[in-house]
Amino acid sequence: MKDRKQILTADDIRRALVRIAHEIDERNGGLHDVILVGVPRRGVPLAERVAAAIADFEGVQVPVGQLDITLYRDDLRTRGPAALIGKTNIQPDLTGKAVVLVDDVLYTGRTVRAALDAIADLGRPACIQLAVLIDRGHRELPIRADFVGKNVPTSRSERVMVHLREVDDVDEVVIERANT
Amino acid sequence: MEHPPRRHQVIDLDDLSTEEIEEILATTESMKEVLSREIKQVPALRGRNVVNMFFEDSTRTRISFELAARALSANIVNFTARGSSVEKGESLIDTVRTLQSLGADIVVIRHSQSGAPYLVARHFQGAVINAGDGRHAHPTQALLDLFTIRERLGQVRDLRVVIVGDIVHSRVARSNIWGLTRMGAHVTLCAPPTLLGPSQHWLATWPNLTISHSLDEAIKGADVVMALRLQKERMQAGLLPSLREYTRAYGITPERLAQIGEGTLIMHPGPMNEGVEISPEAATAPNSVIEAQVTNGVAVRMALLYRLAG
């Protein structure tokens, strides 16, 4: 049996993303050079929602791209190739831009490491920032998020799952632990 | 993220399930995006050794495997029989064992003997990709043809594809018949009886297959017309009366080009005998996708190398 607990409701997710949108605005002193880049799968709808929130209160349409990091992973030998690779679609010239990476959960930091390498191959932005809905700790690399929806202390045996309407038909964040 | 079961060889398309073919074609699309970047390289296969083992001449297949391996950051070594210890009498098995000892992770083999890749796979612990063996199979060509058709026409299912030419000697035809019918296309083989091969057996094997001896009939309503290379030595072997007669009956001539609709794709695996199985007008027509086939070949081979690099 698995023990399942909801830690964020649809409303909590909405509020967290609006707050992150405001923080991105403040940090970057206006938004003209900001690009939001979602990491597939769930980082992409999150980036779109943050952009929509920004459009709501600033009336500015921030560009949104997506960056798949499968071909930059460091676990090909241990886990094998992925069945499918997500799409990468990002504006060609990143020079001088503030790239805000958006992902659902920050855990070991390895996905972010891969994303940083991937961006370096695509261009030379002025800076790269990281926004995540959940930070669950247990970093294996010296990486931290600039914008966090919610910090969730977890043990490694637990699973944190972000469900989003666009992918999963429902908005919620749940934490699952095996009942032993 | 989903991970498919580990795979160690692709020797013909009959190795692959429909689902795997779909996944490889989808991965090919992602690889094509990588090739459109300014830096056409990702680190996925960094530090892997790929050996291109070519016992038969090739331009596009060999070079596209080489570019594919490099785009994935693998090390690639080209081995050709000429100038190697094969000339001193080293056998295929010994050569493969030597490559194993030298640290090869993936072997890509082209050989004039049908079945040679199976022998290699038995004696090699890494992954093996068939880059064309005798009359047997050419799976990467069939995959890139499937990809090109789908890219241009949106799907493969229910399309009418004509394969015309020297079917019996063609590994491209054999792999394409398998791949196209598997993905739901209707395939018509069109060839003179001397170049058709065991048609009764094929008709019994593939339900979506028909056979025609008239190209003019076959091209009516076709979505794709694929011409095969006519090897000129077939004529010396007495299988054909003359090249001119062959062209008149089975070539994609300017007259047939006019009959074929503008939405019908013209394909050829290369190298072409222009003026024999295909006229220069047809080869360069707006609905010819022969150059796209070559371009897509790199992305398809990247997808396969990635899939085999567990």
Give residue B275's pLDDT band: very low, low, confident or very high (50, 70, 90). Answer: very high
What are B41's two structure tokens? 């390289």
CA distance to partner chain B, nearest, from residue A68 (Å): 9
CB neighbour list of residue B169: distance below 8 Å, 6 or more residues apart: B135, B195, B231, B234
Q: Which residue has the higher pLDDT, A83 or B6?
A: A83
Q: Which residues does chain B have within 8 Å of residue A76's beta carbon, measured at their own beta carbons?
A: 44-45, 309-310
CA distance to partner chain A, nearest, from residue B159 (Å): 25
For each successive 10 residues of chain A (180 residues), what is the average pLDDT?
Answer: 90 98 94 96 98 96 97 92 94 93 98 97 96 97 98 95 97 87
Residues B48, B49, B53: CA angle, nearest 5 degrees: 145
Mean pLDDT of B79-95: 82
Tens of pLDDT, residue by residue over B134-186, are 999 999 999 999 999 999 999 999 999 999 999 999 999 999 999 999 999 99
Distance CA B73, CA B183 (A): 32
Give residue B248's pLDDT band: very low, low, confident or very high (50, 70, 90). Answer: very high
pLDDT reading at B222 higher than 80: yes
Give, in order, the Cα–Cα distances in Å from B208 to each of B15, B125, B189, B197, B293. 19, 37, 11, 17, 24
CB B104 within 8 A of CB B69: no
Give me the torsion for CA of A139, A144, A147, A153, rounded to 10°. Answer: 30
Tens of pLDDT, residue by residue over B280-310, are 999 999 999 999 999 999 999 999 999 999 7
Q: Which residue has the higher pLDDT, A61 or B1?
A: A61
Please count the other Cβ atoms lying within 10 Å of the Cβ belonging to residue B157.
10
For testing the chain B interface, which of A69, A72, A84 should be mutated: the one with the most B CBs within 10 Å?
A: A84
Distance CA A35, CA A39 (A): 13
- Reduced to 3 states (helix: H, G, I; strand: E, B; else coil), residue A165 is helix
Q: Show the domains of chain A with their CATH numbers.
A: 10-72+93-155 (3.40.50.2020)
Please count the other Cβ atoms lying within 10 Å of the Cβ belonging to residue B238.
8
Please count the other Cβ atoms lying within 10 Å of the Cβ belonging to residue B73.
15
Mean pLDDT of B199-213: 90
- pTM given for the model: 0.94
Pairwise CB contact (< 8 Å): A121 & B42: yes
What pLDDT score does B109 carry? 97
What pLDDT score does B84 carry? 77
Rounded to two decimals, the ipTM of the complex is: 0.91
What pLDDT score does A1 carry? 62
Pairwise CB contact (< 8 Å): A83 & B3: yes
Q: Show the domains of chain B with their CATH numbers.
A: 9-138+296-308 (3.40.50.1370), 140-293 (3.40.50.1370)
Pairwise CB contact (< 8 Å): B37 & A79: no
CA distance to partner chain B, nearest, from residue A142 (Å): 21
Give residue B201's pLDDT band: very low, low, confident or very high (50, 70, 90). Answer: confident
pLDDT reading at B122 higher than 70: yes
What pLDDT score does B12 carry? 95
What pLDDT score does B152 carry? 98
Of B276, B243, B270, whose CA–CA distance to B63 is shortest?
A: B270
Tens of pLDDT, residue by residue over B14-60, are 889 999 999 999 999 999 999 999 999 999 999 999 999 999 988 89
Check residue B213 and report its DSSP letter: S
Tell me the pLDDT of chain B averaged across its residues. Answer: 94
Pairwise CB contact (< 8 Å): A72 & B33: no
Q: Which residues does chain A have within 8 Å of residue B6's beta carbon, measured at their own beta carbons?
A: 80
pLDDT reading at B89 higher than 80: no
What pLDDT score does A180 carry? 59
